[in-house]
């Protein structure tokens, strides 16, 4: 025989009840021997409790009661449920008159939900020609008299069930879950989720082949799918694992359900009424493999803290705490202790926390006077996450991921077996914490949530590169890149599930004005984890947002050079905030676009290598100008105009020609060596004749020929076989606080590496103590939106891989 148990949502009006009837019909037609245990339909138990409270306050209970009756009959108005409704009517009337009720009365009222459910289902099945029999479990399950949470009396209950099924063996027995009766035949209930317990007991007493628990989900998941969209269904679990899940908040299981099944080794299968072709989750004595199984959550709990240095080494403290909890019927979910400063944390149901604190204060009253106990306090609004199957040897991975996402557990402990770890976190951080842990420990893609600021040439190219490559990267690296925000100087586009390839139109139509706080708030409200902000602007004001972004749990990536070239104080303050918040800041494209220059210098410096000099061509635009001017017998203005027409320069070419951009890049490299130079200390040779440095762009573009006599003279004054190069050079004693930074036009032999530069390549020489006069040379495309965007993308992937 198989025992089928259907939950409240499965039995609700419409699709639910119809699916249940179909499942039972199919099993009967296939010749399966089954018994059916039912919960109250829909939200009947909660609704009856609400009506009871209204009646106790002498309120209008009749209106909600009439609604309740209509819902319970649903589409089957012809089925007579008047007996149960009359019982309820009399009980509510009595409660209303007295203005109060006992747990005994409450059990009588709540039991009617299951009675109505079983009676309705039996009638429907009978009309369909199925030999169904209404079974009131109060005649089967005998309990003690603890109303509201009664315990079954095993021997008499087992005898009743076996005898009953012998007499009713040729029928489908539709049994009420949740309810029983004491020896006086007073109605009792088995506690919330007790219908599962009823089904488990029936299965045990009948030595059932399997208990099939039909719910509204496909089985047990690696986490609650409502909280973790990436949660995966678990095919198999052991009873021990299921018991841990039940103890730590999985509503699909009742902790007491497991034991009767374990005694007889009866498999439990969790199935979906609405998708009954799915095989669900099978729970047996054996699991299919070791390892982490699922994340369970306990909500509606509080943390009671007992603190006191004087308790260290004092015997009997734990016993006193547990005696107080036991005497006051307060269940402790988790206990954790600290030894250096004696502190004990207890997780209890939120509605029992105040009682626990008051009773503990009474128990430890003398210890307050002797200063052995400092304080007893309550931390509300907390939740417990239990990682079922987590070994402490690998716990550092999810723990580090939490800290990186600014979720700091208040308390954690592990079981004696060392295979389950529980964390207490702030309730507001539960959603994010679950997703971070789940992404870290299960074989699902790690989700990286990205906000991109600036969508011009570099930013726009980067966005398209990410969207085009996302699927391949997820497949190859198990990293899911999710661009949830795109912003320009005026408008912001937000989508927690990621922007579409049509983002350019969407930011125009759906974008709105914003501050950086809007982006941070959106990420928090949607519990987005693994946050990265990318600055592709050239804005001097946007860098003011770096510190609030880091404090808001964002790692930073920037192609914008400004943040690294402002005052040395800002440079150090930013890095202090990054360190305090355990955030990273990558900016490989600040110098050399996509070339691995900054990384190389960082590695050399960190390894203790003494860098003695850095020099090179830092500007792709100026590389193009002087490479071509040196190689061709044409005026300088003609090469400059060619560069302008091809879009190699800034809209105002003077921004390239003044040398400040090269100066900023040189300063960034100097600061990587811990030099404290300021921008004002750089010696920069401005390539623009003094009389052309002011005025509007249009006037300047009409006067380009005025460059020619100056640069013809410089070119002609060179030694034979020499060429012009505009370089940045960092020299001096680089072990001091400051170095010598120069940006200048130089003449070099054409047969050297620097002299042989072609096109618009960037070129860098890094001289070190170990390599002497043989520098490390890095050369390649050092400019262009596609190259720079690809460099930023490289930083993004490097950051995504961390941790």
Q: What's the Cα-to-Cα distance from 587 to each of 548, 556, 596, 668, rounded to whole Å?
A: 18, 8, 11, 10
With bands split at pLDDT 50, 70 and 90, how would you rate the model's confidence at 340? Answer: very low
Query: Residue 703's pLDDT is what?
Result: 94
Q: What is the dihedral of CA 766, 768, 771, 774, to 10 degrees?
A: 40
The pLDDT-based confidence of 255 (bands split at 50, 70, 90) is low
Tokens of 90: 């009399």
pLDDT at 100 over 90: yes
DSSP at 639: H
Query: pLDDT tens, 112-125?
Result: 999 999 999 999 99
Instruction: Tell whether the model's pLDDT for residue 139 goes beyond 70.
Output: yes
Per-residue pLDDT for 372 more than 90?
no
Question: Residue 338's pLDDT is what?
Answer: 59
Helices (H), 555-632: 568-580, 597-606, 620-631
Starting from the edge strand earliest in sequence, which strands make up the sheet with 268-272, in order? Answer: 132-135, 172-176, 34-38, 2-6, 210-215, 268-272, 281-284, 236-238
pLDDT of res. 247: 56
Q: How confident is the model at residue 225 (pLDDT cuts 50, 70, 90)?
A: confident
| pLDDT digits 0-9 by tens, 595-628 | 889 999 999 998 989 999 999 999 999 999 999 9
pLDDT recorded at residue 43: 94
b (16+ CB within 10 A) / e for 516-545 = beebbebbbeebbbbbbbbbbbeeeebbeb
pLDDT of residue 254: 66
State residue 318's pLDDT score.
80
Q: For the chain, what is the mean pLDDT?
A: 91
**628-683 per-position pLDDT tens digit:** 999 999 999 999 999 998 878 888 999 999 999 999 999 999 999 999 999 999 99
With a pLDDT cut of 70, the percent of the chain lying above it is 95
300 in the Ramachandran plot: left (φ > 0), alpha (ψ -120 to 50) or beta? left
Residue 506: CB atoms within 10 Å: 15
CA angle, residues 403, 407, 411, in degrees to nearest 5: 95
Q: Is the pLDDT of residue 99 over 70?
A: yes
Q: Which two three-digit tokens encode residue 680?
A: 């004002």
Task: Lowest mean pLDDT of 193-197, 286-290, 454-458, 726-730, name the range.
Answer: 286-290
Decide if 638 contacts 564 (C-beta within 8 A): no
β-sheet bridge partners, residue 233:
221
> Which pLDDT does position 415 carry in this prediction?
66
The string of pLDDT tens digits covering residues 382-432 is 999 988 877 777 788 888 888 888 888 888 887 655 578 888 999 999 999
Average pLDDT rounded to a whole number, residues 774-793: 85
Distance between terminal CA atoms of the chain? 51
The residue written with tokens 């100056």 in the block is 710
Per the annotation, the verdict on 665 as an active-site residue is yes
Sequence-ordered alpha helix ranges (H) in 150-304: 154-167, 194-205, 239-247, 255-264
274 in Cβ contact with 214 (< 8 Å):
no
pTM of the model: 0.70
Q: Which residues contact 801 (CB under 8 A, 6 or more apart)?
A: 477, 479
The burial of 232, by beta-carbon neighbours within 10 Å (0-12 exposed, 13-18 middle, 19 or more buried), is given as middle
So what's the pLDDT on residue 339?
Answer: 47
Residue of 146, 293, 665, 713 marked active site: 665
pLDDT in tens, 71-89: 999 999 999 999 999 999 9
CB distance 520 to 437 below 8 Å: no
CA–CA dist 642, 514 (Å, integer): 40
Q: Are 555 and 533 in contact (CB under 8 A)?
A: yes
User: What was the pLDDT predicted at 252?
Assistant: 60
Name which of 190-199, 311-320, 522-531, 647-656 the model is least confident about: 311-320
For tokens 């209890």, what's the residue? 348
Distance CA 782, CA 760 (A): 7
**Rounded percentage of the chain residues whose pLDDT exceeds 90:** 70
Contacts with 146 (C-beta within 8 Å, 6 or more apart), sequence order: 188
Q: Provide the token pair at 15.
A: 């699709």
């Amino acid at each position: 025989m198989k025992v089928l148990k259907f939950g409240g949502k499965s039995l609700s009006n419409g699709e639910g009840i119809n699916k249940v009837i179909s499942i039972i019909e199919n099993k009967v037609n296939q010749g399966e021997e089954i018994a059916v245990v039912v919960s109250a339909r829909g939200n009947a138990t909660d609704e009856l409790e609400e009506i009871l409270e209204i009646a106790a306050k002498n309120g209008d209970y009749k209106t909600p009661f009439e609604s309740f009756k209509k819902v319970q009959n649903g589409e089957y108005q012809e089925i007579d449920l008047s007996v149960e409704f009359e019982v309820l009517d009399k009980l509510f009337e009595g409660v209303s008159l007295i203005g109060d009720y006992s747990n005994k009365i409450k059990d009588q009222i709540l039991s009617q939900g299951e009675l109505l459910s079983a009676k309705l289902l039996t009638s429907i099945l009978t009309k369909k020609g199925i030999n169904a029999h209404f079974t009131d479990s109060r005649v089967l399950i005998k309990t003690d008299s603890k109303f509201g949470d009664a315990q079954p009396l095993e021997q008499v209950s087992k005898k009743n069930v076996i005898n009953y099924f012998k007499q009713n063996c040729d029928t489908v027995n539709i049994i009420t879950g949740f309810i029983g009766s004491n020896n006086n035949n007073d109605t009792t209930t088995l506690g919330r989720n007790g219908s599962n317990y009823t089904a488990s007991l029936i299965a045990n007493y009948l030595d059932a082949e399997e208990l099939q628990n039909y719910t509204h989900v496909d089985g047990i998941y690696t986490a609650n799918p409502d909280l973790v969209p990436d949660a995966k269904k678990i095919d198999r679990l052991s009873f021990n694992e299921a018991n841990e899940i039940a103890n730590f908040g999985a509503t699909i299981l009742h902790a007491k359900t497991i034991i009767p099944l374990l005694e007889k080794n009866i498999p439990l299968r969790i199935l979906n009424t609405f998708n009954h072709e799915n095989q669900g989750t099978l729970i047996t004595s054996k699991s299919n493999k070791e390892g982490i199984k699922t994340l369970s959550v306990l909500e509606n709990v509080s943390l009671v803290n007992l603190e006191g240095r004087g308790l260290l080494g004092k015997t009997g403290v734990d016993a006193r705490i547990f005696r107080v909890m036991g005497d006051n019927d307060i269940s402790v979910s988790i206990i954790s202790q600290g030894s250096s400063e004696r502190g004990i944390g207890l997780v209890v149901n939120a509605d029992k926390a105040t009682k626990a604190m008051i009773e503990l204060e009474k128990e430890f009253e003398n210890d307050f006077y002797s200063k052995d106990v400092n304080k007893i306090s309550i931390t509300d609004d907390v939740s417990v996450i239990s990682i079922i199957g987590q070994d402490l040897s690998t716990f550092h991975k999810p723990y580090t991921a939490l800290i990186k996402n600014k979720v700091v557990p208040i308390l954690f402990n592990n079981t004696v077996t060392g295979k389950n770890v529980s964390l207490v976190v702030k309730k507001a951080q539960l959603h994010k914490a679950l997703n971070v842990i789940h992404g870290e420990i299960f074989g699902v893609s790690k989700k990286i949530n990205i906000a991109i600021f600036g969508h011009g040439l570099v930013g726009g190219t980067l966005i398209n590169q990410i969207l085009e490559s996302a699927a391949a990267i997820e497949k190859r690296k198990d990293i899911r890149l999710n661009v949830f925000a795109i912003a320009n100087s005026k408008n912001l586009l937000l989508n927690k599930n990621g922007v579409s390839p049509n983002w350019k139109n969407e930011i125009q139509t759906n974008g709105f004005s914003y501050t950086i706080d809007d982006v941070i708030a959106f990420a928090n409200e949607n519990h987005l984890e693994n946050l990265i902000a990318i600055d592709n602007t050239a804005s001097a004001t946007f860098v003011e947002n770096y510190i609030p972004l880091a404090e808001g749990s964002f790692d930073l990536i920037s192609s914008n050079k400004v943040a690294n070239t402002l005052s040395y104080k800002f440079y150090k303050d930013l890095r202090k905030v990054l360190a305090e918040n355990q955030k990273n800041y990558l900016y490989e494209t600040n110098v050399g676009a996509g070339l691995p220059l900054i990384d190389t210098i960082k590695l050399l410096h960190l390894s203790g290598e003494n860098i003695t000099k850095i020099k090179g061509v830092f500007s792709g635009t100026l590389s193009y100008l002087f490479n071509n001017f040196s190689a061709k017998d044409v005026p300088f203005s003609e090469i400059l105009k060619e560069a302008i027409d091809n879009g190699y320069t800034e809209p105002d070419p003077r921004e390239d020609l003044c040398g400040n951009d090269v100066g900023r890049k040189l300063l960034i490299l100097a600061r990587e060596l811990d030099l404290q130079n300021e921008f004002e200390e750089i010696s920069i040779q401005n390539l623009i004749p003094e009389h052309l440095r002011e005025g509007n762009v249009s006037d300047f573009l009409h006067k380009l020929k005025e460059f020619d006599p100056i640069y013809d003279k410089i070119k002609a004054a060179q030694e034979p076989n020499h060429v012009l190069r505009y370089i940045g050079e960092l020299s001096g004693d680089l072990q001091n606080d400051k170095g010598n930074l120069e940006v200048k036009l130089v003449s070099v032999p054409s047969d050297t590496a620097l002299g042989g530069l072609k096109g618009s390549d960037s070129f860098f020489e890094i001289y070190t103590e170990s390599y002497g006069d043989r520098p490390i040379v890095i050369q390649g495309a050092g400019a262009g939106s596609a190259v720079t965007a690809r460099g930023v993308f490289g930083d993004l992937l490097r950051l995504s891989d961390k941790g």
